[in-house]
Amino acid sequence: MRRVQKGIETGKKGFPKATLIFILCAVCAGIVAAGVIGNYVVNSQRVKNEVKTDSSVSMAGETGLPYIEMLFDDGSVYNRLTGYQSDTFSKEAKGYSLAILPGDLRQRILISEPFAQVEALSYQVRDLSTGDLTEETVVGEIYETGGLTEAFLNIKNLINTRHEYNLQIKLDRKDAPSLIYNTRIESIEEPDRVRSAIAFADSFIKHSIEDEDTEYIEGFVDAQSTTESFNYALTDSTCPASLIMWKGLSPKNEERAISSLLSITGEEALITASYAINVSGANSNGERIIVNDLFKVSLKDEDELKTGNPLIDFKRKAYETVSGENLKVSETTVPFGFQADEDMQRVSSENGQFVCFVNGGNLWRICSGTGVDKTGFIRLFSFEGGGEGQIRTDLTPVIKTDADGNIATCESGFGINIISVKDTGDVTFAVYGAFPGGVHTGESGIGVYEYKSADGVLSEVLFVRTSKDVEAMREFAAESYLNDYGEMYVTVDGADERINVSDYSRETVTGKSADDRIFYSEDASVMAYSAKNAVVPGMSDRLEFFDRDEGILSGISAAEGTDLMLIGFIGDDVVYGVAGESDYESAVSGVRSFFNKLVIADKAGNEIKSREAEGELYTDVEISGGSLKFTTAKREGDGFVTGERSGIVANNIYEDQPFVLHFESSDERRKELFGSFTRGANDGRDVAVVKEYEYNSGNTVVLE
């Protein structure tokens, strides 16, 4: 049964060990070991294989990577860039932030690396739309500024106005790996207007934290009356200024907010800022809050503005970084403080005694005390910790927006994915992205870690260095699977490959997807694909399903006069539709499917449930939780008439959650997130941080 995990997908078996990382063993088998490609025969008496290692990791005592900030002519700072280790420029790289070039194209930058440590500085400019190289130059103007490094990038006059390019900066350091930084650049007619917009965002943030009264903020927001409880951590331009300013909580800066220019559309600039503050006051005890602000600011000057208000829109998402001081179990509830939403990633053990959750750059484990002696919290892993008693504040998240301009996600260039939580308290998890600290500082890759509860030691199972972006790493991991027999499955070029992780031998075990569409069960233990396309686009003559636990390939073929279409999975069960070859309707949006039968089948292709009735067709089919939803229809003349919305309830694939999240409001302005043990808990007085780490650099592999 699938254990709930919000935010990042995990499987019902929790991806039984290093689901994320042994993927790369498949693609890099020749690099990892002298594995021989050959046939792999599944013995009828299969023995479960435990992968063991002595390798591990340490995150303690790291100061982090140097960052680069863009400067305007007046010295004002914006767009803090974080780097990754590389000796070469990348043609595919694309910067998140947008820098506006001055009129003379001399871009001024500040590097937080000591001047004495800088060996050389160079850059590449590429056309963002074509990837064509525009310029590659070694920087000559490098100076010392307060012990740090300042430089001027003299961009050659080959830049078209109002056209985006990617600027990639390479920093060569003495006795340290080279680093690459990316940003988009654009030359516009009036760069000072962008500088004014960023200055406005900086001022708005400063006043929202430091002002004693609300007059400044009130001049820009349009607060609407509401009967709903407010949430400090989720505000916008319709909220009262007092809420935006954390009134009653005495906010204090932990660091200077560095604004990032995301884009320019017409006469509007989209600007983001992520920063940390410390709040106190009622029900708060010096709590650390990570604030993510989004501004849409007009580029018109004061004379052109009708209202005099440059702020078009403002939105905020924030969350509290829990620590040993504010973590506790009160009866059966754990308070997580301010949260913008409830998509906190968490995974429970089957017996409900242990829960792991991700908060910011930290992974925590809670022992509920149910049936065990020791209770309390352990911080298993942290990207925010910069050594004993230190908090890193230079980890600028990327704020992504949706189509409506709302904040969709606030992510750093790395992520943590909980793989499994055992009844013993052992935890397996993966970390992916650009590592800002630890042994892998500056490296981009994926690592799998195991925490052994018995000895309290955290070990690194494997680290794979890769140039893939964070989204690709996440997807690559979600589609791969490691079973209990030590067999790793990964999809390569449309077909599934099996790798024995003991000797890295490998073989292709499925056919190739005929249409490049591959479906995976919730825990990726089953994959399905179209083995043979039908005449009608999107339909199939044959579907095949592969059981990655037992290594069994099954399939079904369409009966004469019919086509098949894969719809998806409900748990381990495959969902597909059967359509008569005449049951199609040409529509403006393309071909719309009308099925005469809907099937929920097991992973061997055997029907479990179906819907089929004389003269009845089914359209607008979707999977919703444990149900298959659809709209009934019937043919009438040359067209179709739709009827009621209906559904098929799948087999019971869900269990009660041993740990659930919920919001509560302690007063009319404060909304907080709590987690509750449904199987009981007791006190959580003990708080610990894992300090025992092991690491062996010999376990690193490389994937380009």
Higher pLDDT pick, 689 / 131: 131
Listed in sequence order, the residues at least 6 apart from 257 whose beta carbon sits closer than 8 Å to its beta carbon are 202, 205, 206, 273, 274, 275, 291, 293
Q: Which residue has the tokens 């990570």?
A: 290
Helix/strand/coil for 224:
coil
Residues 260 and 396 in one domain: yes
Reported as a pLDDT band with limits 50, 70 and 90, residue 7 is: very low
Residues 125 and 199 in one domain: no
User: Which structural domain, as residue segments, surrounds residue 591?
Assistant: 526-571+573-649
- Asked, for residue 246, whether it belongs to a domain, the answer is yes
- Asked, for residue 334, whether it belongs to a domain, the answer is yes
Residue whose C-alpha is closest to residue 11's, from 569, 552, 679: 569
Residues 182 and 210 in one domain: no
- Asked, for residue 55, whether it belongs to a domain, the answer is no
- Asked, for residue 56, whether it belongs to a domain, the answer is no
- Asked, for residue 82, whether it belongs to a domain, the answer is yes
Residues 225 and 184 in one domain: no
Q: How far is it, in rounded angstroms, from Cα 19 to Cα 602?
A: 23
| pLDDT for res 17 | 32
In this predicted structure, the answer to whether residue 9 has a pLDDT above a threshold of 90 is: no
The residue among 411, 432, 460 that closes a domain is 411
Residues 175 and 266 in one domain: no
- Asked, for residue 629, whether it belongs to a domain, the answer is yes
In this predicted structure, the answer to whether residue 208 has a pLDDT above a threshold of 80 is: yes
What CATH number has the domain bearing residue 97?
2.60.40.1930
Residues 135 and 229 in one domain: no
Q: How far is it, in rounded angstroms, from Cα 128 to Cα 53?
A: 43
In this predicted structure, the answer to whether residue 572 has a pLDDT above a threshold of 80 is: yes
- Asked, for residue 602, whether it belongs to a domain, the answer is yes
Counted domains in the chain: 3
Residues 406 and 540 in one domain: no
Residues 298 and 400 in one domain: yes
CA angle, 66 then 68 then 69, to 5°? 140
The residue among 141, 159, 189 that closes a domain is 189
| pLDDT for res 686 | 58
| pLDDT for res 20 | 32
Residues 143 and 214 in one domain: no
Q: How does pLDDT run across 634-669, given as a tens digit for each residue?
A: 877 767 788 899 988 877 554 557 788 888 876 655
| pLDDT for res 420 | 76
Residue whose C-alpha is closest to residue 297's, from 410, 396, 203: 203
The residue among 359, 392, 411 that closes a domain is 411
In terms of C-beta density within 10 A (0-12 exposed, 13-18 middle, 19 or more buried), how is residue 418 classed? buried
Residues 258 and 303 in one domain: yes
Q: How does pLDDT run across 328-373, given as a tens digit for each residue?
A: 777 678 888 888 777 788 888 877 788 899 887 788 898 876 556 5
In this predicted structure, the answer to whether residue 385 has a pLDDT above a threshold of 70 is: no
Most confident among 66-70, 498-502, 635-639 (mean pLDDT): 66-70
In this predicted structure, the answer to whether residue 161 has a pLDDT above a threshold of 80 is: yes
Pairing outcome for strands 376-382 and 398-401 = unpaired
Q: How far is it, in rounded angstroms, from Cα 76 to Cα 79?
A: 11
- Asked, for residue 237, whether it belongs to a domain, the answer is yes
In this predicted structure, the answer to whether residue 137 has a pLDDT above a threshold of 50 is: yes
Q: What is the mean pLDDT of residues 164-186?
A: 93
Dig out the tokens for 56 from the structure.
Answer: 């591990």
Reported as a pLDDT band with limits 50, 70 and 90, residue 283 is: low
Q: What is the mean pLDDT of residues 473-497?
A: 75
Residues 265 and 210 in one domain: yes
Residues 127 and 249 in one domain: no
In this predicted structure, the answer to whether residue 467 has a pLDDT above a threshold of 70 is: no
